Each structure stands twice: as C-alpha cells, then as structure tokens.
Structure 1
Amino acid sequence: MNENIDRGMSTLIIFIIAAAILSAAQSVVTTGITGIMADFHVHSTTAQWIYSSFLLVLGVMIPLSAFFTRRFKIKTILLASLGLFLIGSIIAYIAPNIGVLILARVIQACGSGILLPITQIVLFKVIPEEKWQVYMGLFGFIIGIAPALAPTAGGFIIDSVGWRSIFLIFAIMVAILMVVASVVVKLEFETGHYPLDIASLILCVLACVGIMFGFSNIAQNGFDMIWVILPIVIGAISLVLFVKRQFGIETPLLDLHALKNKYFFFGTLFSAILYFTMCGLNVIMPLFAQSIASHDATTAGVILLPATLVMIVFNFIGPLMANKFGVRKVLLLSCLFTVVGYLLMMTYTRTTSVEYMVVTQIVRAIGAGLGLMPAVTWTIAVVSGDVEDATAINNTVRQIIGAIGSAVAVVLMAAFAGGNVGHNYLSVSAFAQTSLVMSILAIISAVIVVLYIKDEIHDLM
C-alpha cells in the first residue's frame, strides 16, 4: 500500500514539474516577438502566430485527454508529450523562417495540450478526494507562477543571448526530465482498447479551431466574413454536431453525460464566466494603460504584474480556505472581490495614477485567485467517478470561453468608444462601460453560487 502511495506521489511530482515547464512555454516567447520580426523580416500580425497557434492547438488537444488516459499508459503519455515538446523545441531553435517556427510551436503545443489536463487527472486519481482542494491549490500556484514569470525571465535571456536560446534551454530541461521520468514513473491506471471515433475527432477539431480562431481574429479584423464570421459559424455547427454525436455513439471521444448533472454544469459555467472576465481583462487593461492613459508598454506591465502575482498566491490560498470554511463561502467572497474590483475600474480617468491602478487590480486579482481553483475542484468532485471526461470538459469549455472573452472585451470597448480607442473622454467612458459588463457577469456568478454550489458534495451525487 505504501509502495503504491510512493509511486503515485513520485509520478504526480514528475507530472507537475513537467506541466510547469510546458506551461511556461506558452507565454515565454511574447518578449521575443520583436526580435523574431527583425530576424525573419515579418510583420507583427504574422509573428504573433507563434503565440496564437500555441493557444489554438491547446484548445484542440485538451478534449482528447480523456481518450488518451483510457487508451494509453500514463508513462507512455508523459514521455510522448515531452517528446513532442522536445522535438518542437529543437525545430524552433534551428528554425530558418517564420513558417518553420510556427510549425515548431504547434508541435510544442501538442505536447503541452496532452500533458496539462492529464496532470489534473493524475492528481485526482492519486490524491484522496478530501485533499483535492489542498493539492489543487498547490498545483494552481506552481502552474500559475511559471507562465507569469516566464516573459520576464525570457526577456532577460533574450536580451542576453537571443530568442533562440529560449528553445535550447527548454530542450535541455525536457530531455533531462524525460530521462528522470523513464526511471521514476511506475504508476499505471487501467487502460483498454478504447476506439478513436474519427468523425468525432474531426468535428472536435473544427469546433475548437473554428470558434477560437474566429473570436481571436475579431480585434484585428472586425467582423470580417472570411476571418471571423465563417470560422465561428463552422465552429458552432461542428460543436452542435459533435455534442449530438457524443450522445448517440457507444464509445464517444468525450463522454458529455456529466453535463446532465446540473451541479457540474453550473460549476463549469461559474469557472467559465470567471475565466471569460480574466482573459478579457488581460486585453483591455493594457489597452487602457497604453492607448487611453498614454503609458508605455513597460508601465502597462508594471500595473498588471503585482495583480498577477497576487492571483497566483490566492490560487493556493483559495483551495485551502475552501477546504476549511466551505467552497460556497469562498466563491461568494471571490465574486465580491471581483465585483468591487471592476467597479473600482469604472473610476479610472486619463490621469489616474499608476499606484491606484495597481491597488485596484490587486483587489480584482484576489477575486480571480480565490475563485478559479476551488470552483474547478468542486465541479470535478461532483462527478468524481468520471474525472477523465469531467476534467476534459471543464478545461475545454474554459479554453474556448477564454478566447471568446479576450475578443468580446475588445469589441465591447471599441463599440462603446465609437470604433476608435484613444486618449479621449469617450474611450474612458467605454472602458468604464466594459468594466460594468464584467462586474455584471461577476454578479451572475454569485447568483450561480447561491443557487447551485453546495458545501456537502456527497449529498448531490
């Protein structure tokens, strides 16, 4: 028994370390985009695909996590995902042009997209249910701190030895981790010959890529038919067909029956709304700082960095509080801080001090940090007998809703500003109105908590 526990914990530790490294790769290249543009002589709209392509592929791979865990051994999945990431890192390091670099990022994202959700599945299977909140808090802290600090660390490395060195460092770390994992990881879960439904896979890819690609392009292309409307329509139709097919076949790619549990449904909805506002804020706040308040990019980063670090800390504190005081109280407190944070943002003007913006962003970040991990953990616990599909559904919904949130926030702000966000009163008002929309969404989240989130999970099963 103790040997099984040791195997489980050592496997989980390796997975969390791997997840931290791979999640850092998502944002680390953002500080190198300028250098990549200069080296390959490309425009920013092309260079940004080294980041956007990564997010799109993540959205596609996450729904497949339930299938992978049913079909393949955990050790095989880990080594395969790390292997893909290693190959992607090597190709990125030697990339002769932007096309090859984007391809390398896609390969990296395939590895990340497999590993990140399966790390949660391993956690839920290894750790006793009564300790899920505590360990999910630790997981959220580690996974949060890596991508948050990655751009800063990446910027230092890039300024010192160039952007290619980033990918070489990743390749070395992952190669070492693969060697360690091949020796240390011995825990296995039950697997079988679970068939892959190709039609479901195609519909899943079309749905995720169509919706995320279309909404991601709104800020740059408006409501263009080819780049925005058509992908969203294709994605939406594919999603409807995908859902219908999953309920109609014997071995679905993703078992959606968990969504028929109203507590799981509304728990997922809560975390999706929270993620929507978080992703939207990550776009409109820098836009306010630079275009409306006329600060430079560095100052915009300074405004958000303390809030980001606070949110990461509360990713850890939130689950601990939920474990002690009950998830319902913590989520209501999360909604309260979130609403207050966005209402305070409505007081911003063109001359608002950086210090005031930092403080108000910290208030909002406390709300985000308190809510996300406790909500996700509680939602999975409601259907604890099916953590594979429940985790995949929850992560996929948040990934898609996050992409939509980023786009919708920009569109709302631009629409309220009359189509042009700038250093003027109308744009200040537009930012306030967009913040009001976000606060209303937080109030809706509070209503969901009151009606559907309960502390005693076992009474809901």
Structure 2
Amino acid sequence: MSTIAYEQDKTVIRPVPILISFLIAGFIGLFSETALNMALGNLMSELDVVSSTVQWITTGYLLTMGILIPVSALLIQWFSTRQLFVASLLFSIIGAIVSGIAPSFSVLLLGRIIQAIGTGLLIPLMFHTALIIFPVHKRGTIMGLIGLVMMTAPAVGPATSGLIIELLSWNWILWLLIPFLVFSLVYGLAYVQNVSVLSKPKIDVLSILLSTVGFGGIVYGFSIAGEKGWGNLLVISTIIIALISLIIFSLRQFKLDKPMLDLRTLKYPKYTLGLLSVSATFMIILSTMILLPLYLQIGLGLTALTAGLVLMPGGIINGALSPIAGRIFDKFGSKWLLTPGFIIMIITLWNLSNVTTETSIAMVIFLHSSLMIGVTLIMMPAQTNGLNELPRELYADGTALINTLLQVSGSIGTALAITIMSASQNSFLENVADPSAPSAVSSSLTAGVQTAFILGIVLAISGLIMSFFIKSSKNT
C-alpha cells in the first residue's frame, strides 16, 4: 500500500501521505462546519440579530455546499488534485480569518460562505482521490478511516466550541482553526500529488445554472420551511422551481455527450441503492443532531456545554468503529453490515421516541451511542459498495452525486424533523392550562421530540427493506 505507479506518466504515487493530507484537512473542515452551532445564542446578543437570522450561519453553509458539490465533478476534470486541494485550504483559511474578525453578522456570514467553499471543494475531492490511489480490496478500510474523520469532527465540535465559549469568546473558535488549517496546507503542499486525468470537457453553462437553482433551491427551501411554515409562498415557490430545474437538469445530462454530472451512475443498481441508503441514514443523523440538543437543553435543562459532552461519546464511538467496519467490509462485503445496522437504528429510534423529562443522561448517552453504531455499519459500507460498482471514469460523478444528495437529504431531514416537532409541541400546549410555565415548555418540547423521532423510524425501516436487495459488489 506504500506506493503505486501512476498510469499516465509513471510517477510513483505514495497513497498513504496523500490520504493523511486529506484526513487532516477534512477533519478541520468538518469540525468548522458545526463549531459555531453552540455559539448561536452568543452571536444573537453580540451581533444583535434574531434567531431566524442567526440560523443562516448553518443554512448559508449548507446552501453553499449544496451548490458547489455538484459542480465538483466538472472541476476535478479541469483542475489538478494539488490545485483543488490548495484552493480548498486557502478558501478555508480566508473564511476563518474573515469570520474571526467579523464586526457584523453580514461579514460573519460572508466568512462562513467562504469556509463552505473550501469544505465543498475538499470533501468530493477526498473521496475521488481515495478511489483512484487505493485498490478495490482495500477501499473499505480506507473509507472507514475517512468515516472516522467525517463523524468524529462534527461530534467533538459542539463540546469543544462550548468549552472555548465559556473560557474565551466565540471568535476564538475560528482563531484556533487557523494554525491547523495552515499546517494542513503546508503538509499537503509537501505530499499531495496529482492523480486525476484532466479531460477538460466543454463547460455547459446552462447545466451549471440549472444545478445551482435546483440543488441550491431544494436546500434553501427546506431549510427555511421549519421557520416560515410549509404554507409560506416563498417556501412553496422555491421548492417547485427547484424541482422543475432538477428535472430539466437531469434530462439535459442524459442528452449531452459530456454532461456536467453524469447521471449514468444511476444505471448501476448497487450504486443507486447505496445512494438511497446513505441519504436516508444522513437524514436520520441530521434530524437527530437538531432534536437531541433541543431535548437536552430544554427538555432536561442542561447547559450547552453539558449537552455537547453528552453527545460526544456517540460521535467518538462512531469514528472509532468506522475503520473496523471498513475491514469487515473488505473481508466479507456489505451484507453483514447494512441489515444489522438498520435493525440497530430502528430499535434505538423507537426508544428515543419514548424519552421523557425524567429520562436519565446515562440513558441518552447509551441510546445516542447505539444509534451511532448503527450509522457506522451503514454509511461508509453502503457508499463504498456502490462506488465500487462504477467504472473509473464515473468515480468523480459518483462521489459528487452522493455528496450532493447528502446535503439535500440533510436539509430535508432537518426541516421535516423541526416541522413534526413544532406541530406536536403546539398540539400538546393546546391541552395545557398555562402554556408559558417552564414545566409545560419542557414537557411540550419533549412530546414534540418523541413524535419527530418517528420520522427516523420510517426512514430506518425503508433502509432495512433496501438492505435486503443490496448485494456486495463483485469487487469486494
């Protein structure tokens, strides 16, 4: 695994140093994605903005990635691995600096969007590069390592940022990222090598516009639906326009000789089933990441730091088990992972739908950790099994489509969870004598969270059904 010969120019490629470069940069990038979540209350008071405005710190990040990632398949064919790696780190560094010195919310949002461009470039490039430099029989282990980074970074983000806020200020969350980002850039300059074949296809501007309106519109529409309501004209019109744009975009990709995003990947059954499985799982992850913090802070009355610490073990367990799941995948394929994973998730989500204001912190830690074990058995194995079925020329398109749908499904899952929770919470308060009483607030939110977890159960059951039809790729 130490070296391979690069087919095009016979340059000796060293896979391990390249992978390390991406893992370091990926960890910092994904850590920064959730790092400011625990600082939203501080930002509201210091920058004088309301909750609907401050949520754009997250919405803007997701929206930027939802627009950029579909284009990544085209960028990978136009720019070298080193060029895209360096560009992603430079965007991340500049974004962190702008956000750290932000005197106003608009400047902070600009910095976050610049950071999102860096992460949006890096993540699909990391998957694409890993598929090229590692042989098929080792990809499960490699994707497991990537999974370790992708799940551990967001998991430690809230607790770490909560601690920084208590000791310093929210700006230091961003200042402390910069030295690590600079180190990642220097390390990458030393070890990242060019591994992609640059075909430089013709750029179809209409496809880019349709992709931007379609994927970006879906993310934006569902992101604001939880706040404005599903009957809001802006929400309805945005989602309708986005869906029409996506339909036109998809039809156009099949007609073009050199499509921006080659949707022929969907003709491979294992890839399509894997795509749907990871999308359903990611909807569960994102909805849980918004439901549990609300439940812990309002339902159980914990501080932001304590809530972050409660959720940290699950993320760490997920990261630690990802390489192990990868090795099992390399040896036995996906069939021994996906079905048990969905069964674990169904059982856990059922128990989460029965939490109360009296549920112990230890039980919440146990349930969240169990859920993350189920996630570990599904995310990377299903994704790797699907990508393994694709021919080499479709790697970039396959990884771009998966990462795009993760952003889209994440925004949909979050919006649906918030909507279900709010409706159930309001229904609960209608039967309460004093809706403003603290006990009524905590009880009503807990009731809303209970109902919202039913969405996760439905998604997990659909995933379980799909797992029966997913066979291990012939290459595993």
Give the secondary-structure state (helix, strand or coil) at the position aligned to 1:327.
coil
Equivalent residue runs for 1:112-191 within 5 Å: 112-191=119-198
Alpha-carbon distance in 2 for matches of 1:267, 1:132: 15
Match of 1:245 among 244, 252, 256: 252
Higher mean Cα deviation, 424-433 or 186-195? 424-433
Quote the offset at 1:238 in angstroms.
1.2
Match of 1:57 among 59, 64, 72: 64
Quote the offset at 1:255 in angstroms.
0.4
Higher mean Cα deviation, 96-105 or 305-314? 305-314
Equivalent residue for 1:355? Answer: 362
Equivalent residue for 2:401? Answer: 393
Tell me whether 1:30 sits opposite 2:48 in the alignment. Answer: no
Alpha-carbon distance in 2 for matches of 1:95, 1:85: 15
Q: Which amino acid aligns with 1:396?
A: T
Greater fraction of residues in helix:
1
Quote the offset at 1:2 in angstroms.
5.3
Tell me whether 1:445 sits opposite 2:463 in the alignment. Answer: yes
CA-to-aligned-CA distance 1:75-129 (integer Å, 9 cap, x gap): 1111111112222222223322111111111111111101111101111100111
8 Å Cα contact 1:275-1:398 kept in structure 2? yes
Length-normalised TM-score, structure 1 = 0.92
Alpha-carbon distance in 2 for matches of 1:49, 1:82: 23
Equivalent residue for 2:434? Answer: none
Q: Which amino acid aligns with 2:452?
A: T
Equivalent residue for 2:472? Answer: 455
CA-to-aligned-CA distance 1:33-70 (integer Å, 9 cap, x gap): 33333332222322232222111111111111211111
Quote the offset at 1:393 in angstroms.
0.8
Equivalent residue runs for 1:57-456 within 5 Å: 57-385=64-392, 386-419=394-427, 423=441, 430-451=448-469, 453-456=470-473
8 Å Cα contact 1:211-1:236 kept in structure 2? yes
Quote the offset at 1:351 in angstroms.
1.8
Alpha-carbon distance in 2 for matches of 1:418, 1:455: 46
Quote the offset at 1:268 in angstroms.
0.6
Decide whether aligned partners of structure 1 residues 170 and 391 sit closer, same or farther in structure 2, where only a CA change above 3 A counts: same
CA-to-aligned-CA distance 1:173-200 (integer Å, 9 cap, x gap): 3334333333333333210322221111
Alpha-carbon distance in 2 for matches of 1:79, 1:423: 48
Identity %: 28
Alpha-carbon distance in 2 for matches of 1:91, 1:264: 39
Decide whether aligned partners of structure 1 residues 346 and 232 sit closer, same or farther in structure 2, where only a CA change above 3 A counts: same
Q: Which amino acid aligns with 1:132?
A: R
**RMSD across aligned C-alpha pairs, in angstroms?**
2.4
Decide whether aligned partners of structure 1 residues 10 and 244 sit closer, same or farther in structure 2, where only a CA change above 3 A counts: same
CA-to-aligned-CA distance 1:353-388 (integer Å, 9 cap, x gap): 222222222222211121111111111111142211
Quote the offset at 1:259 in angstroms.
0.7
8 Å Cα contact 1:84-1:111 kept in structure 2? yes
Q: Which amino acid aligns with 1:71?
A: W
Alpha-carbon distance in 2 for matches of 1:234, 1:420: 35
CA-to-aligned-CA distance 1:399-455 (integer Å, 9 cap, x gap): 10111011112212333445467558776555444333422321221111112x112
Gaps of 5+ in 1: none
Higher mean Cα deviation, 112-121 or 280-289? 280-289
Alpha-carbon distance in 1 for matches of 2:83, 2:102: 28
Give the secondary-structure state (helix, strand or coil) at the position aligned to 1:322.
helix
Quote the offset at 1:458 in angstroms.
4.6
Q: Which amino acid aligns with 1:233?
A: I
Gaps of 5+ in 2: 6-10, 430-439
